[in-house]
Amino acid sequence: KAGVTQTPRYLIKTRGQQVTLSCSPISGHRSVSWYQQTPGQGLQFLFEYFSETQRNKGNFPGRFSGRQFSNSRSEMNVSTLELGDSALYLCASSLATTGSDDTQYFGPGTRLTVL
Amino acid sequence: AQSVTQPDIHITVSEGASLELRCNYSYGATPYLFWYVQSPGQGLQLLLKYFSGDTLVQGIKGFEAEFKRSQSSFNLRKPSVHWSDAAEYFCAARSYSGNTPLVFGKGTRLSVIA
């Protein structure tokens, strides 16, 4: 079974631009979560989508948004980019079963550099 | 607030030596617990997880972890480290109750010397 895929792998943008990142979950997984990873803050939760609905949201400004499509693929968008948005953005998918085994599996990430 | 603490930022071990990476959690009730590994520029790979039952959990690549409720700990161990184990290791937790996100520790960077 193919793993979580993220595109693009690398992006360079300038301040003020916007960017869209894409994530395709493992086949059959219904939940997609997004994380931002920086050297200073570590891994921080952005949001989670399940059945096209945002189920959880982290403490990030409204410039960060996302959506999920009917095939469970997800996109996240960052508008009005700031230098501090430079980070590795990780996507994770899970079966989203209630109860025990809801393990998250991660993609390789998208490295965003804002100049 | 729910939190995960990895006290060691960086650990250096010799190849062939044993390894223990520490992880403590602060949750109202025992959470689900995970260890992930990340190689430079890569995503996170799941090493092992604890949901319930046997407190000694076996994972991939020869890793194991022991859950100790009394110490709120979930330490990762490996009897003999290989140079390829050099990477960053993250402990994570998720609450049993409801659909809540993973909370990660800050990570421990492992260096392996000959």
pLDDT in tens, A68-87: 999 999 999 999 999 999 99
DSSP 3-state of B76 = strand
Tokens read off for A85: 């948005």
- Closest residue to A90, CB basis, from B44, B94, B101: B44
Q: What is the pLDDT along chain B (114 residues), one digit of tens a residue?
A: 789 999 999 999 999 999 999 999 999 888 899 999 999 888 999 999 998 888 999 999 999 999 999 999 999 999 999 999 999 999 999 987 767 888 999 999 999 999
Give residue A27's pLDDT: 94
Give A-chain residues touching B51 at CB under 8 angstroms.
100-101
DSSP 3-state of A6 = strand
Give residue A103's pLDDT: 87
- CA separation (Å) from B86 to B15, B72, B114? 10, 26, 12
Give residue B42's pLDDT: 85
* Inter-chain touch B42–A108, beta carbons under 8 Å: yes
Give B-chain residues touching A4 at CB under 8 angstroms.
43
Ranges of chain A whose pLDDT falls below 50:
none
**Pick among B36, B90, B102 to test the A interface (most A CBs inside 10 A):** B102
